[in-house]
A = this chain, B = another copy of it.
Amino acid sequence: MSTSLARPGLISLAAGFTDNPTLPVDEVRGLLDELLSDRLAGEQALQYGSTQGLPALIELTAARIEHLEQKSGNSNAEKKRFAGRLVITHGSQQLLYLVTEVLCDAGDIVLVEDPTYFVYLGIVQSHGLHCRGLRLEPDGIDLASLDRTLTNLRKTGVLPRLKLLYVVTYHQNPTGTTTAFTKKRAALDMLRYYEKWAGHPIYFFEDAAYRELGFEEETEPSVLQLIEAAERIIYAGTYSKPFATGVRVGYGLLPESVREAVIRVKGNHDFGTANFLQHLLARAISSGVYDVHLKSLRRRYAEKANCMISAIRSSFSEVVEWRKPNGGMYMWVSLPRKIKTGLRSSFFARALEHDVLYVPGQICYATDPGRPRPNHEMRLSYGNATPNEIKEGIARLGRVIGEYLC
Protein backbone atom coordinates (compact mmCIF):
# COMPACT_ATOMS: atom_id res chain seq x y z
CA MET A 1 0.00 0.00 0.00
CA SER A 2 2.78 2.43 0.85
CA THR A 3 4.41 1.55 -2.48
CA SER A 4 1.23 2.34 -4.35
CA LEU A 5 0.78 5.69 -2.62
CA ALA A 6 4.33 6.80 -3.33
CA ARG A 7 4.31 6.49 -7.14
CA PRO A 8 1.65 8.45 -8.95
CA GLY A 9 2.13 6.69 -12.31
CA LEU A 10 1.70 3.27 -10.75
CA ILE A 11 -1.51 1.30 -11.24
CA SER A 12 -2.21 -0.74 -8.14
CA LEU A 13 -4.19 -3.92 -8.57
CA ALA A 14 -2.93 -4.88 -5.11
CA ALA A 15 -4.81 -2.84 -2.53
CA GLY A 16 -7.98 -4.14 -0.91
CA PHE A 17 -9.41 -0.63 -0.96
CA THR A 18 -12.98 -0.19 -2.09
CA ASP A 19 -14.05 2.00 -4.94
CA ASN A 20 -13.68 5.73 -4.21
CA PRO A 21 -16.50 7.00 -6.46
CA THR A 22 -18.92 4.57 -4.79
CA LEU A 23 -18.15 5.72 -1.24
CA PRO A 24 -21.43 6.93 0.32
CA VAL A 25 -20.38 10.53 0.95
CA ASP A 26 -23.80 12.13 0.47
CA GLU A 27 -25.55 9.31 2.28
CA VAL A 28 -23.31 9.61 5.35
CA ARG A 29 -23.75 13.37 5.30
CA GLY A 30 -27.52 12.98 5.34
CA LEU A 31 -27.51 10.33 8.06
CA LEU A 32 -25.20 12.30 10.34
CA ASP A 33 -27.05 15.53 9.78
CA GLU A 34 -30.19 13.78 10.94
CA LEU A 35 -28.43 12.13 13.88
CA LEU A 36 -26.77 15.32 15.09
CA SER A 37 -29.84 17.51 14.57
CA ASP A 38 -31.41 15.56 17.40
CA ARG A 39 -29.55 16.79 20.50
CA LEU A 40 -30.31 13.72 22.62
CA ALA A 41 -29.43 11.22 19.89
CA GLY A 42 -26.29 13.23 19.15
CA GLU A 43 -25.19 13.13 22.78
CA GLN A 44 -25.69 9.39 22.93
CA ALA A 45 -23.61 8.91 19.79
CA LEU A 46 -20.76 11.11 21.08
CA GLN A 47 -20.64 9.42 24.50
CA TYR A 48 -18.90 6.16 25.49
CA GLY A 49 -20.83 2.99 24.77
CA SER A 50 -20.40 -0.49 26.19
CA THR A 51 -17.58 -2.91 25.39
CA GLN A 52 -19.79 -5.46 23.61
CA GLY A 53 -21.41 -2.88 21.35
CA LEU A 54 -24.46 -0.68 20.78
CA PRO A 55 -27.64 -2.67 21.56
CA ALA A 56 -29.49 -1.18 18.56
CA LEU A 57 -26.71 -2.20 16.19
CA ILE A 58 -26.57 -5.66 17.73
CA GLU A 59 -30.31 -6.10 17.14
CA LEU A 60 -30.05 -4.86 13.56
CA THR A 61 -27.08 -7.12 12.91
CA ALA A 62 -28.90 -10.13 14.29
CA ALA A 63 -31.89 -9.35 12.08
CA ARG A 64 -29.60 -8.94 9.11
CA ILE A 65 -27.93 -12.31 9.64
CA GLU A 66 -31.36 -13.91 10.15
CA HIS A 67 -32.48 -12.44 6.82
CA LEU A 68 -29.36 -13.62 4.98
CA GLU A 69 -29.76 -17.08 6.43
CA GLN A 70 -33.45 -17.35 5.60
CA LYS A 71 -32.83 -16.23 2.02
CA SER A 72 -30.33 -19.05 1.67
CA GLY A 73 -32.75 -21.61 3.05
CA ASN A 74 -31.68 -21.79 6.68
CA SER A 75 -34.84 -22.60 8.61
CA ASN A 76 -32.92 -22.47 11.90
CA ALA A 77 -32.24 -18.73 11.63
CA GLU A 78 -33.57 -16.78 14.58
CA LYS A 79 -32.73 -13.19 15.40
CA LYS A 80 -33.06 -13.65 19.13
CA ARG A 81 -30.54 -16.46 19.23
CA PHE A 82 -28.06 -14.47 17.14
CA ALA A 83 -28.36 -11.23 19.14
CA GLY A 84 -27.29 -12.92 22.38
CA ARG A 85 -24.04 -14.11 20.83
CA LEU A 86 -22.90 -10.91 19.09
CA VAL A 87 -20.07 -8.52 19.81
CA ILE A 88 -19.25 -5.39 17.77
CA THR A 89 -15.59 -4.77 16.91
CA HIS A 90 -13.30 -2.15 15.34
CA GLY A 91 -13.52 -3.78 11.91
CA SER A 92 -13.81 -7.55 11.58
CA GLN A 93 -10.00 -7.58 11.71
CA GLN A 94 -10.19 -6.89 15.43
CA LEU A 95 -12.57 -9.82 15.85
CA LEU A 96 -10.10 -12.13 14.10
CA TYR A 97 -7.36 -10.90 16.41
CA LEU A 98 -9.40 -11.17 19.61
CA VAL A 99 -10.68 -14.67 18.84
CA THR A 100 -7.17 -15.89 18.07
CA GLU A 101 -5.78 -14.25 21.20
CA VAL A 102 -8.48 -15.83 23.34
CA LEU A 103 -8.36 -19.36 21.91
CA CYS A 104 -4.71 -19.89 21.06
CA ASP A 105 -1.42 -20.02 22.92
CA ALA A 106 2.03 -19.81 21.36
CA GLY A 107 2.88 -23.14 19.73
CA ASP A 108 -0.75 -23.99 18.98
CA ILE A 109 -1.92 -25.00 15.51
CA VAL A 110 -4.62 -23.49 13.29
CA LEU A 111 -5.88 -24.83 9.97
CA VAL A 112 -6.26 -22.41 7.07
CA GLU A 113 -7.08 -22.54 3.39
CA ASP A 114 -4.31 -22.77 0.77
CA PRO A 115 -4.25 -19.83 -0.01
CA THR A 116 -5.92 -17.72 2.70
CA TYR A 117 -6.44 -14.08 3.79
CA PHE A 118 -2.84 -13.00 4.28
CA VAL A 119 -3.58 -10.50 7.05
CA TYR A 120 -4.86 -13.40 9.13
CA LEU A 121 -1.46 -15.04 8.68
CA GLY A 122 0.04 -11.92 10.30
CA ILE A 123 -2.18 -12.46 13.34
CA VAL A 124 -1.19 -16.12 13.44
CA GLN A 125 2.49 -15.27 13.26
CA SER A 126 2.26 -12.56 15.92
CA HIS A 127 0.85 -15.12 18.34
CA GLY A 128 3.58 -17.66 17.59
CA LEU A 129 1.14 -20.18 16.10
CA HIS A 130 1.75 -22.89 13.54
CA CYS A 131 -0.40 -23.48 10.47
CA ARG A 132 -1.47 -26.31 8.26
CA GLY A 133 -2.75 -25.32 4.83
CA LEU A 134 -5.73 -27.17 3.34
CA ARG A 135 -6.06 -27.66 -0.41
CA LEU A 136 -8.73 -25.42 -1.87
CA GLU A 137 -11.19 -26.61 -4.53
CA PRO A 138 -13.64 -24.45 -6.50
CA ASP A 139 -16.33 -25.09 -3.85
CA GLY A 140 -14.16 -24.78 -0.75
CA ILE A 141 -11.60 -26.84 1.14
CA ASP A 142 -10.81 -30.34 -0.01
CA LEU A 143 -12.31 -32.58 2.67
CA ALA A 144 -9.80 -35.34 1.94
CA SER A 145 -7.02 -32.85 2.62
CA LEU A 146 -8.70 -31.90 5.92
CA ASP A 147 -9.04 -35.56 6.90
CA ARG A 148 -5.42 -36.32 6.00
CA THR A 149 -4.23 -33.32 7.99
CA LEU A 150 -6.28 -34.25 11.06
CA THR A 151 -5.13 -37.87 10.89
CA ASN A 152 -1.56 -36.72 10.61
CA LEU A 153 -1.89 -34.37 13.60
CA ARG A 154 -3.41 -37.21 15.60
CA LYS A 155 -0.72 -39.69 14.64
CA THR A 156 2.09 -37.27 15.49
CA GLY A 157 0.45 -36.56 18.84
CA VAL A 158 -0.03 -32.83 18.29
CA LEU A 159 -3.83 -32.78 17.92
CA PRO A 160 -4.11 -31.27 21.43
CA ARG A 161 -2.42 -28.17 19.97
CA LEU A 162 -5.10 -27.73 17.28
CA LYS A 163 -7.53 -24.95 18.22
CA LEU A 164 -9.45 -23.91 15.14
CA LEU A 165 -10.12 -24.07 11.42
CA TYR A 166 -10.25 -20.61 9.81
CA VAL A 167 -12.09 -20.35 6.48
CA VAL A 168 -13.16 -17.34 4.39
CA THR A 169 -16.37 -18.73 3.02
CA TYR A 170 -17.87 -16.21 0.59
CA HIS A 171 -15.94 -14.83 -2.41
CA GLN A 172 -12.80 -15.62 -0.52
CA ASN A 173 -9.89 -13.24 -0.30
CA PRO A 174 -7.74 -14.01 -2.32
CA THR A 175 -9.30 -16.58 -4.69
CA GLY A 176 -12.97 -15.60 -4.88
CA THR A 177 -14.01 -19.12 -3.80
CA THR A 178 -17.38 -19.62 -2.08
CA THR A 179 -17.55 -22.67 0.17
CA ALA A 180 -20.45 -25.04 -0.35
CA PHE A 181 -22.62 -25.50 2.72
CA THR A 182 -22.29 -29.28 2.54
CA LYS A 183 -18.54 -28.87 2.91
CA LYS A 184 -18.93 -26.65 5.96
CA ARG A 185 -21.12 -29.27 7.57
CA ALA A 186 -18.76 -32.12 6.73
CA ALA A 187 -15.73 -30.15 7.96
CA LEU A 188 -17.44 -29.29 11.22
CA ASP A 189 -18.41 -32.94 11.74
CA MET A 190 -14.84 -33.99 11.11
CA LEU A 191 -13.46 -31.46 13.61
CA ARG A 192 -15.91 -32.72 16.23
CA TYR A 193 -14.94 -36.30 15.58
CA TYR A 194 -11.27 -35.51 16.20
CA GLU A 195 -12.01 -33.62 19.40
CA LYS A 196 -11.77 -36.83 21.40
CA TRP A 197 -8.04 -36.90 20.68
CA ALA A 198 -7.63 -33.16 21.08
CA GLY A 199 -9.21 -33.18 24.52
CA HIS A 200 -10.85 -29.76 24.00
CA PRO A 201 -13.14 -27.96 21.53
CA ILE A 202 -11.87 -27.36 17.99
CA TYR A 203 -13.67 -24.34 16.59
CA PHE A 204 -15.00 -23.74 13.09
CA PHE A 205 -14.21 -20.08 12.40
CA GLU A 206 -16.22 -18.78 9.45
CA ASP A 207 -15.07 -15.40 8.11
CA ALA A 208 -18.04 -14.16 6.06
CA ALA A 209 -16.52 -10.73 5.32
CA TYR A 210 -17.53 -10.77 1.63
CA ARG A 211 -20.93 -12.41 2.06
CA GLU A 212 -22.86 -9.26 1.16
CA LEU A 213 -20.66 -8.55 -1.86
CA GLY A 214 -21.91 -11.30 -4.18
CA PHE A 215 -22.91 -10.21 -7.68
CA GLU A 216 -26.04 -12.33 -7.44
CA GLU A 217 -28.18 -13.58 -4.56
CA GLU A 218 -26.26 -15.87 -2.24
CA THR A 219 -27.57 -19.38 -1.95
CA GLU A 220 -25.18 -20.95 0.53
CA PRO A 221 -26.22 -20.76 4.17
CA SER A 222 -23.51 -20.11 6.68
CA VAL A 223 -22.35 -22.60 9.28
CA LEU A 224 -24.84 -20.91 11.64
CA GLN A 225 -27.45 -23.28 10.25
CA LEU A 226 -25.85 -26.07 12.26
CA ILE A 227 -27.63 -25.08 15.42
CA GLU A 228 -26.72 -28.34 17.17
CA ALA A 229 -23.04 -27.33 16.91
CA ALA A 230 -23.50 -23.72 18.03
CA GLU A 231 -20.92 -24.18 20.78
CA ARG A 232 -18.23 -24.78 18.17
CA ILE A 233 -19.08 -22.02 15.69
CA ILE A 234 -17.53 -18.57 15.35
CA TYR A 235 -18.85 -16.29 12.62
CA ALA A 236 -17.27 -12.96 11.61
CA GLY A 237 -18.82 -10.23 9.49
CA THR A 238 -18.14 -6.61 8.62
CA TYR A 239 -19.84 -3.38 7.61
CA SER A 240 -16.62 -1.67 6.50
CA LYS A 241 -16.13 -3.11 3.02
CA PRO A 242 -19.83 -3.12 2.04
CA PHE A 243 -20.36 0.48 3.23
CA ALA A 244 -17.28 2.60 3.91
CA THR A 245 -13.82 1.36 4.77
CA GLY A 246 -13.07 4.56 6.72
CA VAL A 247 -15.85 3.51 9.10
CA ARG A 248 -14.39 0.50 10.88
CA VAL A 249 -17.24 -1.61 12.25
CA GLY A 250 -17.25 -5.39 12.23
CA TYR A 251 -18.87 -8.04 14.36
CA GLY A 252 -18.59 -11.59 15.60
CA LEU A 253 -21.08 -14.21 16.62
CA LEU A 254 -19.56 -16.49 19.26
CA PRO A 255 -20.30 -19.29 21.71
CA GLU A 256 -21.04 -17.79 25.12
CA SER A 257 -17.77 -18.77 26.81
CA VAL A 258 -15.68 -17.44 23.92
CA ARG A 259 -17.80 -14.29 23.75
CA GLU A 260 -17.22 -13.54 27.42
CA ALA A 261 -13.48 -13.93 27.01
CA VAL A 262 -13.46 -11.81 23.84
CA ILE A 263 -15.37 -9.02 25.58
CA ARG A 264 -12.98 -9.16 28.53
CA VAL A 265 -9.93 -8.85 26.26
CA LYS A 266 -11.60 -6.14 24.17
CA GLY A 267 -12.14 -4.26 27.43
CA ASN A 268 -8.36 -4.18 27.75
CA HIS A 269 -7.80 -3.30 24.08
CA ASP A 270 -10.15 -0.32 23.82
CA PHE A 271 -13.22 -0.88 26.06
CA GLY A 272 -15.56 -0.65 23.07
CA THR A 273 -15.65 0.32 19.41
CA ALA A 274 -16.14 4.06 18.77
CA ASN A 275 -19.80 4.59 19.65
CA PHE A 276 -20.24 7.32 17.02
CA LEU A 277 -19.47 4.89 14.19
CA GLN A 278 -21.89 2.34 15.59
CA HIS A 279 -24.68 4.93 15.72
CA LEU A 280 -23.92 5.88 12.11
CA LEU A 281 -24.13 2.26 10.97
CA ALA A 282 -27.31 1.61 12.93
CA ARG A 283 -28.94 4.56 11.15
CA ALA A 284 -27.61 3.49 7.77
CA ILE A 285 -29.11 0.04 8.21
CA SER A 286 -32.43 0.97 9.78
CA SER A 287 -33.09 3.74 7.23
CA GLY A 288 -32.46 1.41 4.29
CA VAL A 289 -29.56 3.57 3.05
CA TYR A 290 -27.15 0.69 3.63
CA ASP A 291 -29.09 -1.70 1.40
CA VAL A 292 -29.54 0.80 -1.41
CA HIS A 293 -25.82 1.52 -1.30
CA LEU A 294 -24.95 -2.16 -1.21
CA LYS A 295 -26.99 -2.83 -4.32
CA SER A 296 -25.16 -0.18 -6.33
CA LEU A 297 -21.82 -1.33 -4.94
CA ARG A 298 -22.43 -4.91 -6.04
CA ARG A 299 -23.41 -3.74 -9.52
CA ARG A 300 -20.29 -1.61 -9.69
CA TYR A 301 -18.00 -4.46 -8.65
CA ALA A 302 -19.68 -6.83 -11.07
CA GLU A 303 -19.00 -4.34 -13.89
CA LYS A 304 -15.39 -3.94 -12.86
CA ALA A 305 -14.93 -7.69 -12.54
CA ASN A 306 -16.22 -8.01 -16.12
CA CYS A 307 -13.86 -5.27 -17.18
CA MET A 308 -10.93 -7.16 -15.65
CA ILE A 309 -12.03 -10.41 -17.26
CA SER A 310 -12.24 -8.81 -20.72
CA ALA A 311 -8.84 -7.25 -20.24
CA ILE A 312 -7.34 -10.57 -19.13
CA ARG A 313 -8.90 -12.35 -22.10
CA SER A 314 -7.32 -9.94 -24.52
CA SER A 315 -3.98 -9.35 -22.72
CA PHE A 316 -2.94 -12.59 -20.99
CA SER A 317 -1.60 -15.65 -22.72
CA GLU A 318 -3.90 -18.66 -22.75
CA VAL A 319 -1.54 -20.64 -20.53
CA VAL A 320 -2.45 -18.30 -17.68
CA GLU A 321 -5.21 -19.73 -15.46
CA TRP A 322 -7.94 -17.74 -13.73
CA ARG A 323 -11.56 -18.06 -12.70
CA LYS A 324 -14.59 -15.79 -13.12
CA PRO A 325 -15.45 -14.29 -9.72
CA ASN A 326 -19.06 -14.25 -8.48
CA GLY A 327 -18.52 -11.53 -5.91
CA GLY A 328 -15.97 -9.80 -3.74
CA MET A 329 -13.15 -7.81 -5.28
CA TYR A 330 -10.38 -10.24 -6.17
CA MET A 331 -9.21 -12.46 -9.00
CA TRP A 332 -6.64 -15.18 -8.53
CA VAL A 333 -4.29 -15.73 -11.42
CA SER A 334 -1.93 -18.70 -11.88
CA LEU A 335 1.08 -18.51 -14.16
CA PRO A 336 3.06 -21.55 -15.29
CA ARG A 337 4.98 -22.84 -12.25
CA LYS A 338 8.36 -21.86 -13.66
CA ILE A 339 7.42 -18.16 -13.45
CA LYS A 340 8.06 -16.96 -9.91
CA THR A 341 5.88 -14.00 -8.81
CA GLY A 342 7.08 -13.44 -5.21
CA LEU A 343 8.11 -10.12 -3.67
CA ARG A 344 11.77 -10.77 -4.44
CA SER A 345 11.21 -12.20 -7.93
CA SER A 346 12.45 -10.52 -11.09
CA PHE A 347 8.86 -10.77 -12.40
CA PHE A 348 7.58 -8.61 -9.54
CA ALA A 349 10.38 -6.10 -10.11
CA ARG A 350 9.64 -6.06 -13.85
CA ALA A 351 5.93 -5.44 -13.19
CA LEU A 352 6.89 -2.48 -11.00
CA GLU A 353 9.10 -1.18 -13.83
CA HIS A 354 5.97 -1.37 -15.97
CA ASP A 355 4.17 0.59 -13.24
CA VAL A 356 1.77 -2.11 -12.14
CA LEU A 357 1.45 -3.68 -8.69
CA TYR A 358 -0.17 -6.95 -7.60
CA VAL A 359 -0.21 -9.06 -4.42
CA PRO A 360 2.20 -12.01 -4.84
CA GLY A 361 0.31 -15.26 -4.32
CA GLN A 362 3.08 -16.58 -2.11
CA ILE A 363 2.24 -14.29 0.81
CA CYS A 364 -1.28 -15.77 0.88
CA TYR A 365 0.10 -19.18 1.86
CA ALA A 366 0.82 -20.13 5.44
CA THR A 367 4.21 -21.51 6.37
CA ASP A 368 3.44 -25.24 6.55
CA PRO A 369 6.14 -27.88 7.11
CA GLY A 370 4.23 -30.19 4.75
CA ARG A 371 4.85 -28.21 1.54
CA PRO A 372 6.78 -25.26 0.13
CA ARG A 373 4.73 -22.09 -0.46
CA PRO A 374 3.60 -21.93 -4.11
CA ASN A 375 5.22 -18.99 -5.84
CA HIS A 376 3.62 -18.57 -9.29
CA GLU A 377 0.33 -16.82 -8.53
CA MET A 378 -1.05 -13.30 -8.16
CA ARG A 379 -4.00 -11.71 -6.43
CA LEU A 380 -5.50 -8.96 -8.59
CA SER A 381 -8.02 -6.54 -7.13
CA TYR A 382 -10.64 -4.66 -9.14
CA GLY A 383 -11.82 -2.94 -5.96
CA ASN A 384 -10.10 0.41 -6.06
CA ALA A 385 -8.87 0.84 -9.65
CA THR A 386 -11.06 2.57 -12.26
CA PRO A 387 -12.15 0.62 -15.36
CA ASN A 388 -9.47 2.40 -17.38
CA GLU A 389 -6.81 1.61 -14.82
CA ILE A 390 -7.90 -2.02 -14.77
CA LYS A 391 -7.64 -2.22 -18.56
CA GLU A 392 -4.26 -0.52 -18.64
CA GLY A 393 -2.91 -2.38 -15.57
CA ILE A 394 -3.85 -5.76 -17.04
CA ALA A 395 -2.31 -4.78 -20.39
CA ARG A 396 0.95 -3.92 -18.61
CA LEU A 397 0.91 -7.18 -16.67
CA GLY A 398 0.16 -9.02 -19.91
CA ARG A 399 3.30 -7.55 -21.46
CA VAL A 400 5.40 -8.70 -18.50
CA ILE A 401 3.88 -12.18 -18.70
CA GLY A 402 4.64 -12.18 -22.42
CA GLU A 403 8.29 -11.43 -21.74
CA TYR A 404 8.54 -14.36 -19.33
CA LEU A 405 6.76 -16.83 -21.56
CA CYS A 406 9.23 -16.29 -24.40
User: Which residues of A line the B interface, CB within 8 A?
Assistant: 1-2, 16-18, 20-21, 23-26, 28-29, 32-33, 36-37, 39, 42-50, 90-91, 93-94, 97, 119, 122-123, 126, 244-248, 264-265, 267-277, 279
Contacts and interface: CB of A to CB of B under 8 A. Distances in A.
Given A246-B49, A274-B90, A274-B248, A42 B28 contact: yes
A272 B16 CA distance: 14
A55 to B, nearest CB: 10
A277 B214 CA distance: 29
A269 B94 contact: yes
Contact of A47 (B17, B94, B122): B17
B246 A279 contact: yes
B50 A23 contact: no
Counted per complex, copies of this chain come to 2
A290 to B, nearest CB: 14
12 contacts: A23-B42, A25-B46, A29-B32, A47-B244, A47-B246, A90-B269, A93-B268, A93-B271, A94-B269, A97-B270, A246-B276, A248-B272
A246 B46 contact: yes
B23 A29 contact: no
B29 A43 contact: no
Closest 7 CB pairs of A and B: A25-B42, A29-B36, A246-B275, A46-B244, A246-B276, A46-B246, A248-B274
A276 B32 CA distance: 12
A244 B24 contact: no
Nearest to A20: B43
B265 A248 contact: no
Given A265-B126, A270-B91, A276-B246, A46 B23 contact: yes
Given A274-B274, A275-B246, A269 B25 contact: no
Contact of A25 (B25, B43, B246): B43
Contacts of A244: 46-47, 276
A390 to B, nearest CB: 18
Given A23-B42, A91-B270, A277-B277, 17 more contacts: A16-B48, A23-B47, A25-B36, A25-B43, A29-B32, A32-B36, A33-B33, A46-B244, A48-B246, A90-B273, A93-B270, A93-B271, A94-B270, A97-B268, A119-B268, A246-B279, A247-B276
Contacts of A17: 47-48
A269 B269 contact: yes
A279 B23 CA distance: 15
Contacts of A1: 50
A120 to B, nearest CB: 9
A272 B240 CA distance: 13
A268 B94 CA distance: 8
A279 B93 CA distance: 21
Nearest to A90: B270
Among A32, A46, A264: residue with most chain B CB under 10 A: A46
A42 B25 CA distance: 6
Contacts of A44: 246
A7 to B, nearest CB: 16
Contacts of A39: 25
A126 B264 CA distance: 9
Contacts of A49: 246
